[in-house]
Amino acid sequence: MADDQGIHAEPTITTRFSNAYGKRPPILHVKVDGEQIGHWDIEAKAAVLDDPQHQQAAEYLATIESTALAWQVRQEKRRAKKARAAVRNEAAAAEPMRSLQAPVSAPAMTPIVPETLAPNPLWRPASPDPAPALSPVDRGRDLSSNKAGAGVRQTARTKFREAPLANLFKRLTGRSTGGDWSWRQGMRGEREVGRVLDKAIAGRKGWFLLHGITRNVRGTDVDHLLIGPGGIFSINAKFHQGKDVWVGEHVVGVGRTPTKHVVKARAEAKAVRKILHAACPTPHPVTPVVVIAGASNFSRGEKVPGDVVVLPVAEIPDWLNALRESMRPWEVEQLYDVARWERTWITS
């Protein structure tokens, strides 16, 4: 992901449903910090901006779409909760009637089974119907089809279109600040790290990898999520073309400049752990990992972060080889089956 985007206060997003008492198609109004930016046409499944010419039109469209998805998830959860409550109420109402019925005891009989009618050895008693599992439609899009860097690539394109001439001039003159530059660097990092991760786990049994997980309605994403016998890993890809990167006890530096890579990776792993545990309770931690790509030199000090793994992209295979098995196969599969669905992550 890009690192020079700055730190901003999270915007407050509010919604209001309206259908004018059935006189017009239902819509969901969306406001950011109290200002309405547009609405979501529920029947057409399309975002509509109040000001299509606004300088943040692309971001507003993405905000409306993600907010609408979260709103729909909440509606489905409410409907499911009401349906379960109705079933419980019906069962409770029927219970007194069943208690009034006198039990009928059948006379004891010894069953006689002729040899010609011996029980089928393959027969098993019918088990109660299991609770219906959520279908892929209920759980949103399958994230296993995501390509590494695809989300950042789309954002980079949007940023370029905002000022195409200025961005093109920066590319031609080799300027490495502002515009779409940081997003293109983020895309390169995610692609390279994703490619090496995909190759590294290709021959390893029981490992699963997801790329570009959007984990909230603001668009914050997880570059890569790795789940396997060795644990759960939230992986941040960082691209520092031609730079000297060094790792200290509490910080990762690029040249002479300290970064917030360790702090951000730690916070992301904590958020990922909270989301996964809510959907599928697990005692296993999520380990934050920072992978450096593009650097001309990578070095470590005498002390490195104790809770965050920092390594160059070339060391990924050796790092995986050194991991000890800490999760059983069924735990890995269960967590992956939860993590791969979009609505596990975007819930509010």
In this structure, the answer to whether residues 282 and 164 fall within a common structural domain is yes
Asked if residue 125 is part of any domain, the answer here is no
Residue 64 predicted with pLDDT over 90: no
Query: Would you give the end-to-end CA distance of the chain in angstroms?
Result: 23
Assign 90 a pLDDT band (cuts: 50, 70, 90).
low
Residue 57: the pLDDT is: 77
188 and 270 assigned to the same domain:
yes
Do 323 and 231 contact (CB within 8 A), yes or no?
yes
Structural domain for 341, as ranges: 143-345
Q: Which tokens belong to 229?
A: 């016998």
Please determine, for residue 151, whether its predicted confidence score (pLDDT) is greater than 70: no
Mean pLDDT to the nearest integer, 20-44: 78
Please give the residue that has the higher pLDDT: either 272 or 138.
272
Residue at 253 is within a domain: yes
Measured CA distances, 154 to 159, 184, 220, 340 (Å): 9, 10, 14, 21
Question: Looking at the domain assignment, is residue 124 inside a domain?
Answer: no
Residue 135 pLDDT grade (very low, low, confident, very high; cuts 50, 70, 90): very low
CA distances from 77 to 25, 72, 139, 257, 334 (A): 22, 9, 11, 47, 21
Lowest mean pLDDT among 1-10, 64-73, 239-248: 1-10
Residue 235 lies in a domain: yes
* 185 shares its domain with 302: yes
Q: Count how many domains the chain has.
A: 2
228: tokens are 């396997």
Specify if 105 maps to a domain: no
Q: Most confidently modeled of 74-78, 113-117, 155-159?
A: 74-78
Residues 9 and 82 in one domain: yes
Range in 84-88, 226-230, 261-265 the model is least confident about: 84-88
Domain-located, residue 110: no
326 and 207 in a common domain: yes
Asked whether residue 165 falls in the same domain as residue 313, the answer is yes
**113 phi/psi in degrees, rounded to 5:** -120, 105
* Domain final residue, candidates 93, 123, 153: 93
**In terms of domains, do 154 and 86 share one?**
no
Q: What is the pLDDT of residue 1?
A: 55
Q: Are residues 196 and 69 in the same domain?
A: no
Both 57 and 179 in one domain: the answer is: no
Distance, in Å, from the CA atom of 300 to the CA atom of 25, rounded to the nearest integer, reads 60
Residue 133 burial by Cβ neighbours in a 10 Å radius (0-12, 13-18, 19+) = exposed
Neighbour count for residue 139 (Cβ, 10 Å): 18
Is residue 244 within 8 A of residue 219, CB to CB? The reply is no
- Longest Cα separation, the chain: 96
Q: Say yes or no: 306 and 244 in one domain.
A: yes
pLDDT at 190: 87
Q: Running DSSP on this structure, what letter comes out for residue 193?
A: H
The domain that contains 60 carries what CATH number?
3.10.320
pLDDT in tens, 169-202: 555 545 555 555 565 666 787 889 999 999 999 9
The radius of gyration computed from the CA coordinates of the chain, to the nearest angstrom, equals 27
Residue 93 confidence (pLDDT) above 70: no
The pLDDT tens digits of the residues spanning 265-319 come to 999 999 999 999 999 998 999 999 999 999 999 999 999 999 999 999 999 999 9
Q: Is 227 exposed, middle or buried (0-12, 13-18, 19+ CB in 10 A)?
A: buried
Q: Same domain for 66 and 164?
A: no
Strands (E), 33-155: 35-41, 46-49
In a domain, 135, yes or no: no
pLDDT band at 8; cut points 50, 70, 90: very low
Residue 308: inside a domain: yes
Residue 49 structure tokens: 């901006």
The reply to whether 81 and 149 lie within a common domain is: no
Report the predicted TM-score, pTM, of the whole model to 2 decimal places: 0.58
